[in-house]
Amino acid sequence: MKNYAFVSLALMLTGCVSMGTNYDPNAVAQLQPGMSKEDVIARLGKPNSISQFPDGRVQLGWVHSTGSMFGANARAVSLIFDANGKLLQTVNQNQIEMK
C-alpha cells in the first residue's frame, strides 16, 4: 500500500497541463504567401481565434501552452488572410518559457 501511495504522488507531481491547438512551429515556417486559408488550417489545425476586418481581411490565431510544476511554455502565431482567403503575412510568432 505504501508503494501505491508513493507512485500516485509521483504521478500527480509530474502531471502536465496542455491548452490550445498544438500546432507545429515547423509547419508555420513552411507557409507561403498566397496559400489558401483551408490549406493553412489543414497544416496547423483549428485556430483558437478568428478576427474579421472591415475590408474583408481575416486574422487567424493559434496558441498552445503547456505547464507543470517544473515550468511552463507557450507559443502563438497570428496569420492575416485577404478577402479571398489567401495568406498575406505572418503577424507574429512567439515562444515563451517560464521556469
pLDDT given at position 15? 58
Domain-located, residue 7: no
Give the residue among 61, 65, 60, 56 at the shortest CA–CA distance from 97.
65
Q: What distance in Å separates the CA atoms of residue 32 and residue 95, rounded to the nearest whole number?
A: 21
10-33 confidence digits (pLDDT tens)? 444 455 676 777 888 899 999 999
Domain-located, residue 33: yes
Question: Whole-prediction pTM value?
Answer: 0.74
Residue 71 has φ and ψ, to the nearest 5°, of 145, -175
Residue 5 confidence (pLDDT) above 70: no
Domain-located, residue 64: yes
The 8-class DSSP code of residue 86 comes to: B
Residue 80 sits in a domain of what CATH number?
Answer: 3.30.1450.10
Confidence of residue 98 (pLDDT cuts 50, 70, 90): low
Domain-located, residue 29: yes
Q: How many CB atoms lie within 10 A of CB 26?
A: 7
Question: What is the count of structural domains for the chain?
Answer: 1
Contacts of 29 (CB under 8 A, 6+ apart): none
67-91 confidence digits (pLDDT tens)? 777 777 788 899 999 999 999 999 8
CA dihedral 65, 68, 73, 75 (to 10 degrees): -10
Residue range of the domain that includes 79: 17-98
